[in-house]
Structure 1
Amino acid sequence: MNETAPPDHRLLRSYGRLKSRPIKPRQAALVETLLPRIRCPQAPFDPAGLLPGAAETWLEVGFGGGEHMAAQAARRPEVLILGAEPFQNGVASALRHVEEQALANVRIEDGDVRTLTARLPDASLARIFVLFPDPWPKARHHKRRLIQPETVAEFARLLRPGGAFRFASDWADYVDWTLARMGAHPAFRWTAERADDWRRPPADHVATRYEEKRLGDCAPVFLDYLRV
């Protein structure tokens, strides 16, 4: 990916639905009023400048309804959390969480995460979360999966040494897919030492509505990696 300028948006495509049911009036109002105030800058930027004094910056890719992102932001007000989500209903839901909890440390990219990561400098993130992404289970759709060699390379660029990457899924094939692609990149080390390390939610994990629906074909699996 281009590290100095955002890619041409016409070349990017976010698969899946971008909107489903009509957005509720209250949430629609937040899209008009709150989102412009907390939207990520549209030019290349250093996240350290968005929240003066922030201890570090985290990124959640595809935050869904925003439950996990908001809960982490509430727990760690000293951390700036960037969230990217192309699904409009999810963005509207996340804005409600931000308003209700008066979260000052959240910034949102209402679009494809690739347009955000291309604007961030090297080693600018301390953590990245990819939680229960669309599994695209059919073989012909695997190219649409978020975890690809180029995505892993971009995460390696963005994470500082000692940074952390967490992937979670309840689709066994996607877990295997991710293990293979993360394992192929020398910048990442899988931290698991025993089966419970991937079978049990990490101590700081926050369950989401999607996770609790158990729509996959296996129990949730959590993969934590260290940026070496």
Structure 2
Amino acid sequence: MLPPMSDKPFDPHPTHRNFYGRRHGKTLRPSQKDYLAEDLGPLRPRGITPADNPDRTPIDPAEMFGRACPVWLEIGFGGGEHMVHMAATYPEIGIVGCEPFINGVAMLVGKIKAAGVSNVSVHPGDARDMMDVLPDGAIARAFLNYPDPWPKTRHHRRRFVTPEHLLPLHRVMAAGAEFRVATDIPSYVRQTLEEVPKAGFVLDSLRAEAWPDWPSTRYEQKALREGRCPTYLSFRRV
């Protein structure tokens, strides 16, 4: 059974937010340090963090890519293989990824350089900062791939599929936009099916097979090796 959610009203612009995930892992290789020092800067969108934009003034998504285009959002891109694959497969879109784990950011930047894709933007921080400043209806598709499972019941409130995250996501997504969730954790599937529709989404599909344009990621491969069955869910913003 899921823990009850708080009755406290949702605050769209809190003065303080808890952050529970990791920001640093193993020592970065020299090449990864170079990626962060030399290549990350041009990929970072402006006006995202409270320090850079204390008034939380909405940004123009076109400025992230230098052109007007459909914008996709990846929440927690891990090692970046899915994000780079989508950027290469759909060059007509712009995709922005948010990831506070700096080792994953370094991996992504290396993959961006290797693939030569240019329709990408990288926020090395909390996705909530990005959602604070995106205009209403700015996102045409969003991805939540193998998010941190927080397996203990008392930690389920820390998962992304809670009102603190889903209500801002609903605001920034366009009507009819697709929200994809991939996970190998049964309780995460249950919580997703319970909470995402409450936030203004309708379930499109629930499947054991990945989407046709899905690239197998290291997290999926680990789940399969360890005998866990992935689930792929698609929702539409209403």
TM-score computed with the length of structure 1 as normaliser: 0.90
Distance (Å, rounded) in 2 between the aligned partners of 1:227 and 1:120: 16
Task: Check conservation: 2:79, 2:107, Cα contact below 8 A.
Answer: yes
Matches within 5 A, 1:114-133: 114-133=128-147
Residues 59 and 22 (structure 1 numbering): CA distance in 2 closer, same or farther, change over 3 Å? same
Report the Cα offset of residue 52 of structure 1: 3.8
User: Of residues 176, 181, 184 in structure 1, which corresponds to 2:198?
Assistant: 184
With normalisation by structure 2, the TM-score equals 0.86
Equivalent residue pairs, number: 219
Q: Work out whether 1:202 is the aligned partner of 2:211.
A: yes
Q: CA deviation at 1:198?
A: 1.2
**Aligned residue among 211, 215, 223 for 1:214:** 223
Contact 2:65 2:121 in 1 (8 A): no
1:147 aligns to 2:157 (yes or no): no
Query: Which segments of 5 or more consecutive residues in structure 1 lack a partner in the other structure?
Result: none
Q: Is the 8 A contact 1:81 1:105 kept in 2?
A: yes
Percentage identity across aligned positions? 38
Q: 1:41-120, aligned counterparts within 5 Å?
A: 41-42=46-47, 43=53, 44-120=58-134
Letter in 2 for 1:222: Y
Query: For residues 145 and 50 of structure 1, what CA distance do their matches in structure 2 show?
Result: 27
For 1:110 and 1:12, the matched residues in 2 are separated by 16
- Aligned residue for 1:39? 44
Does the alignment pair 1:26 with 2:31? yes
Report the Cα offset of residue 204 of structure 1. 1.5
Three-state SS of the structure 1 residue aligned to 2:133 is coil
> After TM superposition, what 4+ stretches of structure 1 lie above 6 angstroms from structure 2?
none
Q: CA-to-partner distance for each residue in 1:103-146, whole Å, 9 max, x for gaps? A: 21111110111111101110000001000001101011111111
Q: Match for 1:189: what amino acid? A: V
Give secondary structure in 2 for the equivalent of 1:224.
Answer: strand
What root-mean-square deviation, in Å, do the aligned CA atoms of Structure 1 and Structure 2 show? 1.8
How far has the Cα of 1:50 moved from its partner?
Answer: 2.5
CA contact (8 A) 1:7 1:118 kept: no
Q: CA deviation at 1:40?
A: 1.7
Deviation string for 1:71-114 (max 9, x for gaps)?
10011111110000010100000000111112211111101111
- What is the CA deviation profile of residues 38-70 of structure 1, one whole-angstrom value per residue up to 9, with x for unaligned ones? 112124312123224443000000000100001
Deviation of 1:2 after TM superposition, in Å, equals: 7.2
1:227 matched to 2:237: yes
Inter-CA distance 226–84: structure 2 relative to 1 (3 Å threshold): same
